[in-house]
Structure 1
Amino acid sequence: MFNFLWEVIVLTTVDQSFAHRVLIVDDEPTSLMILEGALSDIAEVICSDTGFGAIEKAQQFLPEIILLDIELPDISGLEVCKRLKNDPKTSGVTVIFITSHNESKFEHLSLELGGIDYIQKPVDLKVCRLRVGNHLKLKTQEQQLKHSQRLLAIESERLRVTLNSIGDAVIATDKDEKITFMNPIAEMMTGWVMHEAVGNHISEVMQLRDATTKHKSLNPISIALKEQRRVAMALNCQLTSLNGRIHRVEDSASPIRDEKGNIIGAIIVFHDVSESIAMAVKMSHLANHDQLTDLPNRILLHDRVAHACQVSVRNGFLVALMLIDIDHFKYLNDTEGHHVGDQIIKLVAKRLESIVDLNTTLARVGGDEFVLLLPDIKSPCHVDAVASDILYAMHQPFRVDGREFNLTISVGISINPTDSDSAELMMSHADAAMYKAKEHGRDRFCYFSDDLEHEFHQRQNIDKILRNALENDTLEVHFQPKLSLKNKLIIGAEALVRLRDEEGSLISPLHFIPLAEETGLINKLGHSVLKQSCRAAKRWLDKGHPIKVAVNVAAKQFTDPKFIESVAQILEDTELPSGYLELEVTESALMSDFDETSRILNGLSNLGLSIAIDDFGTGYSSLSYLKLFPVDVLKIDQSFVKDMVDDKQSLDIVKAITHLAHSLNLRIVGEGIETQAQLDTLISLECEEGQGFLFSKALPENEFENLIF
C-alpha cells in the first residue's frame, strides 16, 4: 500500500504505535478458527458466535474492526451493526460484513447501516487479510490525523509540499463538497488541474461509476460529510478522467474537523489499483483454467460439479458427467512429438466446444482427458444424444501442419443421483465407465454400473499386483512349444508372460497386458520377459538343446527409441547368440511411421535375430512392407486356423497367406492348432511350423524343460 496522508503529516511524535484489536463474529466454529488464524499476527483477535455476545464484547474491548457475519443465531448481523452505530461508545468501530449472500440488497443494507466493507463467502483469506490490514492502517492514520490537527495551522506550506510528494491521490473539499485542494497525483488521475478544479463540486471532477454496471457511484466524500464518518470507496469502483482514461480505484474519505470538532470539509485519498486487479483476475483465471486450451481445469470443474449436484437435489433433474479420453493418444504423442500432440489437444477442445451449449461445462482434466458436465438433464435420452454427437464429431479428420489425423475417443458417463451422490464419486464412476468403453473396443461410450465399479476396483488391484511383481521381479514366463509339422519335433518356443495374484492364482493376460500398456508399464514388463526368455534359451543351448525362443513385442515397446539398444544389451548380458531369439510384432505396430519402422527393424535384424509378424491377416496394412522390411516369419492368426476346416473364406485366407509366404521365401507358422483336421490342412498347404493345444499349452519353464530334455 502507498503511504497515506495521515502517515506523512505526523511531524513530531514520541510514539504513535498502538495495538490493534479485531472482533470476529460468526456462528460457524470453523470460520472463526480460520479467520482468527489468518489475522492473529496483525491484531489481537476476539471472537463471538452470537449477536448479543458481539455487542457485549464490542462495548468491553472496543475493537477497531469487527468482521461481522449477517446470519447469526440470535439477531442478525445487520441489527448488531445498527445497535453498535447508535451507541456513542462503539459508533466509530469499523464494520466489515462477511456473508454468503450475493444479492445487491444485502450490500446496500450493510453500507446504509454503516458498514465499511463487504466480503463474500467463501472468504479469500488473502483478500480478507489485505482489507483488514488496510482498514487497520486507516485506523492508525485516523489516530495520527487527530494528533496532527493541532499542527496543521502552522505547517500549511510544509503540508502542501508533502501532499504533492506522496504517491496517492489527495483531494480536499469544503463542507459543501466543493474542491479546495488537489495534489499532482489527483490531477493526473482526474485530468483536471487544481486551479480549474477548485470551486467545482467533487462529483464533477471525480466521475465515479460501478465497474460492472457502469452506473454512477456516489462519491465517498458525500457520504462522509452526510454521515460524519470515514467511508471506504465502494467496491468495484472506477474513475473516468477528463480525457476518458479509466482507472480502477480504492481507498477512503473522511470528514475534516476543526479543534472544536466541527466539520469544515472532507478529504479523500485514493490510488490506482487497475494493475493489481488485472493481475488478480489473471491469476484467478490461471488458477482455474488449463493453460493449453483455456478450458476450466479440474479445480473449477469440481466446484461446478458440486454445485450442479446440489441444485439437482432441489429441482429433481439429473446431472451427467462425461469423461472423454482420446484413444491411443500417448502413442500418437510419442511418435509425432509434443508439438503435434498439443495442436491436436487444442483442436479437439475447439471441436467439443462447438458441440456443447452454453449451459454445459467443458473442462480439460488431464493430458488427453476432457470432461463434459451436463446439468439439469430432464431425460437420459438427452445424454445419449450428446454422447453420440461427440463420437460422430470426432470421426472427422484433424489437420495439423498440412497432415490429417484420424482419432477416436472413449467416453465414460456417470449420472447423479442415479449412480453418484457427490462430485468425487461422479469423477470416479465416469473414469471406470471410460475404461469399460476402451475394453469394449474404444470409439464408444459406456455408463457406470455396479458391475463396472467392481471391475474398476479389480483393475486397481491388478495394477498394484503388477507393479509389485515388476518391482520384485516375480513375473513368470511360460513357454508354448513350437513344432515342425513334418516330424513333430520341438524346434522353438513362444514366451508368454504370466502374473499371479496374492493367492497364487494366474491372472489372465487379457486383464493385465492392456493395463500395462495404458499405465506405461509395458516397457518394463517387456524388458523383464525378454531377459527371462533369453536366459532360458541360453541355458537350453548350454545343455545341448538349441531352441529358438520367440518373444512378443508390444506396439509401445516398438516405439521406444532405446529399444534396439535394450535388446542388444540383454543378448550381451545373457550371452545368448542372437540367432536363437525371434521377436514377434503385430502388423499395426509396424504401420505408424514407415521410416522409423524400417530403421528399428533393420537395427534389430543387424543384431542377427529374426522378425516374425504375429496374427498375420488381421491387420489393415499394405503387403508391400513384407518386401521392404526385413521380415523372416509370418504367423497365421489362430482365428483363421480355427475356422478354416468349416469356413471356405477362412481357408482361402490361409491359402493366400501360405502362398504369399512361400513366394517371399518366408517361414510360416500356424497358431492355435487344436484338432487333427486343422493340422492336416496346414500340412497340406505346406505350412512348416505350428503351435497350439493339440501339442501343448504354454508351460512353466521346468515343465517345458521336461519335454525337451
Structure 2
Amino acid sequence: MLLSGLANTVYRILIIDDDIQNIFVLEDILAPLGNIYFSESGSNALALVDKIKPDVILLDIEMPDMDGWQVCNALKSNPRYRDIPIIFITGHTEPEFEKLALESGGVDFITKPFNASICCLRVHTQLKIRQQNHLIIKAKEELQQLVNQVPMLITYWDNEGHNLFSNDYSGAWFESLSGQVSGKHISTIFPNELSRAVLMHQPNVTSDPLKYIVTVIDKLGMSFYEVFQSKMKSSAGVDGYLVTVVDVSEVKHAKQALYSEKERLRVTLNSIGDAVIATDTKGLITFMNPIAERMTGWRIKEALHQKIETVMQLRDANTRHTLLNPLYIALREQRIVAMALNSQLTARGGQVFAVEDSAAPIRNENGEVIGAIMVFHDVSEAMAMAMKMSHLANHDQLTDLPNRILLQDRLSVACSTAKSFGSKAAALLVDIDHFKYLNDSLGHQLGDEMICLMAQRLRSLIPPSYTLARLGGDEFVILMSDTHSVDATSVLASKLVEAMHEPFTLAEQKFSVSISIGISVYPNDAADAEELMRHADVAMYRAKQEGRNRFSFFSHDLESNIRERHQLETCLRNAIANDELLVHYQPKFDLATKHIVGAEALVRLVGPDGVFISPTEFIPLAEETGLIIKLGKQVLLKACAEAKHWLDMGQVIPVSVNVAVAQFSDPNLANLIEKALTDYQLPAELLELEITETALMIDAAEMQTKLSQLKSLGIKISIDDFGTGYSSLSYLKKFNVDVMKIDMSFVKDMLNNKHDYEIVKTIISLGKSMSLALIAEGVETEEQRLALLELECTMGQGYLLSRPLSADDFNAFLFANEN
C-alpha cells in the first residue's frame, strides 16, 4: 500500500439467527476474530446493520419473520450494504441450497452442526478479502491524491505528442492546461519554449530520466523549469513518455530570498518570548532582542561591545556564587552548552529571575566560529508550577494527605530502614464501615466532607512522625516507621477504633461511624513494602468479616483463606463466562401417590479438580461479587430449555427456579423471563419463581408491584424457606403468590421437637387459609411423609423421595416412574 498499511482492524461480525443456542455457539467460535453482534430476527437485523456497519454477516436461511433469502435481497438492494459479504448458515446440505445461496449474493455457505475450525476459517477468509479490497481502494485514492498534490507538473504523452494524462486540472501551471486536455497535442498545451524542448528530446529519451532546464518568457517575466523526461509504458499498454516539470525560478532569485530570510529572522528574534544575546568570539555583545533588554535591564545601545558577564550576571540560586556564562564554554568547545541548574539572573535594577536554556556557537558559511548566541527565558513561574504539580502528583486532592504514590515510596524507605536497624514498620489500613451507604444517602458532597473530617481526626490521633495517607474512596493508611514493638500498633489501633465513637457533625446533624483496621508488621508478616500493604488489606477484610468496628492482625491462615476465596471466585467467573454451570433437578412429589408434580432447578459448580463445590460456598460469593444476576440468568435459561424438553417428551412438569435478592431487584427480570418463555416456547404456567421470604420484606410496596408484574406473565410465585424470615402476616396476605414452601429446618425435627411440629402445623394452616399450595422441603423419612399428609400438606421434596439429579438422570428417573 502507498500510505495505508495493514492496520490492526477490529472486525465487526453480525450473526442473524432465530436460535439463541446457534448464536452462542457461533459467538464462542468467532470471538477471536473480532466483536460479535447478533440479532434473532431478520427485520431487527436490518436496523442493526446500519448501526454497527458489520464487516461480515452470518445469515440463517430459515427464520420466522423474514427468512434468509428476504434479508439477503433487502441488503443487496441497498447500495450502502450490498458490498457486505453474507455467509449463509443452515442445516440443509443439499447442493441446490448452496447454489441458491450463492446466486442470491452470498459469498459462502456454512452448514450445521458447525465445524469450529472450518467455520472460523471461512469467516476469517471473507474478512481478510474485505480488508484487502478496502486497502486497494484506499491505496488508489491515496495514490491519486498524492499525484494531485505533489508540487510538480506530471504529464504523460504518446509518441506523437498527444496528451494521455496531466495532474493539473485547473490550469495552475499553465492556463492552457485547464479543462479537458486529453488527446491534445503538446504544442497547444505547453508554452512554445517548453513544448519545442520536449519534442526535440523525445527521440533520444530512454527509460532513464533525461533532465534539462528550459527558460520560458511570458507576460509575468522570466521563469525557469527543470524538466525530467523518460520513456514509459502505461498499464493499458500504451507506449509514450513521461514528462515532469518543476518550477526552479526561486533559485534564480536567491539573493532576494536570502535578504527576505534575514529580515524575517530579525523580526522573529525581536518577537519571540525568549531572550537572545549574541556576541563575537571574545564575548562582546553584538545583539540583544527586547526580551533580553527587559530581563537584564540594559538597552542594546548601552550593551553593545560590553562583556556578556557585565550585562548578564548569573549566580547559583543556592550558594549565590557567580557562575561562568555558558556562552564562553560554547565558544571554547564549539558546541551547544546548557545553562547550569538553579541559575539566577540579577537584572540591572536588582530584580532576580530563575533562568534556563543554552548557548551555541555561530558559524559562517565555511564552518568557522564567528561568535556565539545565548538563548534563555524566565522559568520562575514554571518552577513554582513544577513544585505545585509535584505536590499534586503525590498528594490526595480532597484531603491533601499523601496519596498511594508517595505512600509507596515511604513504605519502601520504612522497610529498608527497619531492615538496616533491626526495627519494625507497620501498616494500618483503615476503612470506614458501610461508607457506601452513608455516601449514597448523604450525597457525594457531604460524603467528601465526611472523608475530610475523618482525615482530620485520624491525623490528630497519631504522632507527626507517622505517615497518614489516603488510598482513595474511604481507605486510609497509617505507616508506623521505626517502631520496636508490635504492641504499639495494637495500642494505636484500639485508640483509633475507640475515637470513632465520637459522632461527626455534618450539615448540623450528628453521624456515628465506625472503622475496620487491618494491621501488617514488617518483617514479621511481610518481606517487602508491597507484601506489607497486601497483608494489611487481607487483615482488614478479616476485621470486616468479624463484624466491623474492630482491628485485626494479619496471619498466614487468613492469607490462605483469602487465596482460596480468590480461586473460588475465579472458578465461578470462568464457569459463568464459559457457560459451564450445571443445573440439577430435585423432583417434587405428591406425598400420597409419590407421583412427580414438579422439579426445582438447583445450580451446581464443578471445581478445577472435577469435584462439585457446595452451593453454600459459591452462592454467597456470587451475591457478594455481583455475579448472582449472570448466574441466575444461566440457570433460568437452562431450566426453561429442560422443561420444554420434558414437555416435548409428553411430560408436563413445572420447573421452579430460585431468585436471589439482587435478581429480584433487577428491573430487567420480567423482560428476561418473558424472552426466555418466548425463545423456548415454554407455557408460562410451567415456570415457577422461588423467592425468599426475606427478599419480599426489603420494600413491601415495591415488591408487591414487582410480583404483580411477574404474575402478569402467567408464571407462578413461591415463597421459599417460609418461617425463617421476619415477615408480617399483614404484609404477607398482600403478596400475590401461589406456593408456600416449608423450610427443611422445621421438617427435619418436627417429629422430635414439639415446637417445630407446631410451627409446621401453623404454616400449613396459614397456607390453606390463604389458598396457597404447600410444599415441604427436606422430607427424609417415611414417618415425616405420613405426618405431613396427616397435617394436609400434600406435596414435598427431599432425600426420601429423590436427591437432586442431573438432567440425564432426571430423564431416566421420569422414564422409570412411568413404568
Secondary structure at the aligned position of 1:309 is classed as helix
| TM-aligned CA distance change 1:467 to 1:579, over 3 Å | same
In 2, the alpha carbon distance for the partners of 1:513 and 1:489 equals 31
User: Does 1:531 find its partner at 2:637?
Assistant: yes
Residue type of the partner of 2:454? R
Structure 1 position 414 matched with structure 2 position 517: no
Given candidates 354, 357, 361, the residue that maps to 2:457 is 354
- Write the deviation string for residues 420-473 of structure 1: whole angstroms up to 9, x where unpaired: 102332344345445555666666654433333333333343334334433443
Matched, 1:506 2:612: yes
Q: Is the 8 A contact 2:623 2:662 kept in 1?
A: yes
1:266-415 correspondence runs (5 A): 271-281=377-387, 283-285=389-391, 287-288=393-394, 296-323=402-429, 340=443, 344=447, 347-348=450-451, 350-351=453-454, 354-356=457-459, 357=462, 358=464, 359-364=466-471, 371-384=477-490, 387=493, 412-415=518-521
The 5-angstrom pairing of residues 284-683 of structure 1 reads 284-285=390-391, 287-288=393-394, 296-323=402-429, 340=443, 344=447, 347-348=450-451, 350-351=453-454, 354-356=457-459, 357=462, 358=464, 359-364=466-471, 371-384=477-490, 387=493, 412-434=518-540, 436=542, 446-485=552-591, 488-590=594-696, 597-619=703-725, 625-642=731-748, 661=767, 664-674=770-780
Q: Could you give the per-residue CA deviations for residues 318-356 of structure 1, whole angstroms, max 9, x where no partner exists?
A: 3334556677888999xx69x957974774575256325
SS in 2 for 1:303: helix
CA spacing shift, 1:629–1:520, aligned 2, 3 Å: same
Mark the CA change 1:547 to 1:380 in structure 2 (over 3 Å): closer, same or farther: farther
Amino acid at match of 1:478: H
Q: Distance in 2 between matches of 1:621 and 1:290?
A: 46
Q: Which has the higher contact order (CA 8 A, sep 6+)?
A: 1
Q: Secondary structure at the match of 1:551?
A: strand
Name whichever of 596-605 and 551-560 sits farther off: 596-605
Amino acid in structure 1 at the alignment position of 2:657: V
CA contact (8 A) 1:394 1:408 kept: yes
Distance change in 2, residues 1:347/1:456 (3 Å): same
Does the Cα contact within 8 Å between 1:293 and 1:346 map onto a contact in 2? no
Corresponding residue SS for 1:698: coil
- Contact kept, 8 Å, 1:584 with 1:611, in 2: the verdict is yes
Q: Deviations over 1:95-117 (max 9, x none)?
A: xxxxxxxxxxxxxxxxxxxxxxx
Specify the code of the residue in structure 1 equivalent to 2:379: V
Q: Which runs of 5+ in 2 are unaligned?
A: 1-264, 279-286, 361-372
In 2 relative to 1, CA 677–466 (structure 1 residues): closer, same or farther, beyond 3 Å? same
For the 8 Å contact 2:399–2:455, the answer to whether it is kept is no
Distance 1:608 1:245 in 2: 87
Structure 1 CA distance, aligned partners of 2:801 and 2:504? Answer: 49
Aligned-residue CA RMSD (Å)? 5.8
Cα separation, 1, equivalents of 2:500 and 2:694 = 21
**Which whole-Å CA distance do the structure 2 matches of 1:587 and 1:393 have between them?**
39
TM norm structure 1: 0.57
Larger deviation, residues 493-502 vs 320-329: 320-329
Deviations 1:47-66 (A, max 9, x none): xxxxxxxxxxxxxxxxxxxx
Is the deviation greater in 216-225 or in 444-453?
216-225
User: Secondary structure, in 3 states, of the residue corresponding to 1:583?
Assistant: strand
On the 8 A contact 1:355/1:390 being kept in 2, the answer is yes
8 Å CA contact 1:481, 1:490 repeated in 2: yes
Whether the 8 Å contact between 1:190 and 1:242 is mirrored in structure 2 is: yes
> How far apart are residue 497 of structure 1 and its match?
1.0
One-letter code of the match for 2:458? I
Instruction: Give 1:613 shift.
Output: 3.5
Give yes or no for contact 1:340–1:400 (8 Å, CA) kept in 2: no
Say if 2:806 is the partner of 1:700.
Answer: yes
The aligned length equals 534
Q: 1:322 to 1:216 in 2, by over 3 A?
A: same
Q: Amino acid of the residue matched to residue 580 of structure 2?
A: T
Distance change >3 Å, CA 304–CA 206, structure 1 → 2: same
Q: 1:686 to 1:284 in 2, by over 3 A?
A: farther
The 1:382–1:290 alpha-carbon spacing in structure 2 relative to 1, beyond 3 Å, is: same
CA distance in 2, matches of 1:566, 1:425: 44
CA contact (8 A) 1:331 1:556 kept: no
- Alpha carbons of structure 1 residues 384 and 220: separation in structure 2 relative to 1, 3 Å: same
CA pair 362-182 structure 1, distance change in 2 beyond 3 A: same
State the TM-score, normalizing by the size of structure 2: 0.51
* Structure 1 residues 371 and 696: alpha-carbon distance in aligned structure 2, compared to 1, 3 A threshold: farther
Closer, same or farther in 2 for the Cα pair 1:448/1:589, shift >3 Å? farther
The alpha-carbon distance between structure 1 residues 396 and 559, as it changes in their structure 2 partners (threshold 3 A), is farther
Q: How far off its partner does 1:523 sit?
A: 2.5
Distance (Å, rounded) in 1 between the aligned partners of 2:727 and 2:396: 38
Name the SS for the 1:461 alignment partner.
helix
1:22 corresponds in structure 2 to none
Is the partner of 1:697 in helix, strand or coil? coil
1:515 is displaced (CA, Å) by: 3.3
Q: Distance in 2 between matches of 1:396 and 1:242?
A: 61
Distance 2:352 2:783 in 1: 89
Q: Partner letter of residue 354 of structure 1?
A: R
Distance 2:746 2:505 in 1: 37
Note the residue ranges of structure 1 that are not aligned, 5 or more in a row: 1-158, 173-180, 255-266
1:506 CA displacement: 0.8
Q: In 2, distance between residues paired with 1:385 and 1:660?
A: 55
Structure 1 433/625 Cα, relative in aligned 2: closer, same or farther at 3 Å? farther
Distance 1:345 1:325, change over 3 A: farther
Amino acid at match of 1:499: L
Question: Contact 1:209/1:239 (CA < 8 Å) preserved in 2?
Answer: no
**Residue type matched to 2:576 in 1?**
L
Aligned to 2:797: 691
Q: What amino acid is aligned across from residue 691 of structure 1 in structure 2?
A: Q
Residue identity (%): 52
Question: What's the CA shift string for 1:329-385, capped at 9, x where partnerless?
Answer: 88999xx69x957974774575256325351333326x7766554434444344445
For residues 521-561 of structure 1, give each alpha carbon's deviation from its aligned partner in whole angstroms, at most 9, with x where no partner exists.
33322211111112222223333433332222233333434
Q: CA deviation at 1:498?
A: 1.0
Larger Rg: 2
Tell me which amino acid in the other structure corresponds to 2:561: E
Q: Work out whether residues 344 and 398 of structure 1, in 8 Å CA contact, stay in contact via their aligned partners in 2.
A: no
Separation of aligned partners in 2, 1:685 and 1:462: 43
Contact 1:399 / 1:405 at 8 angstroms: preserved in 2? yes
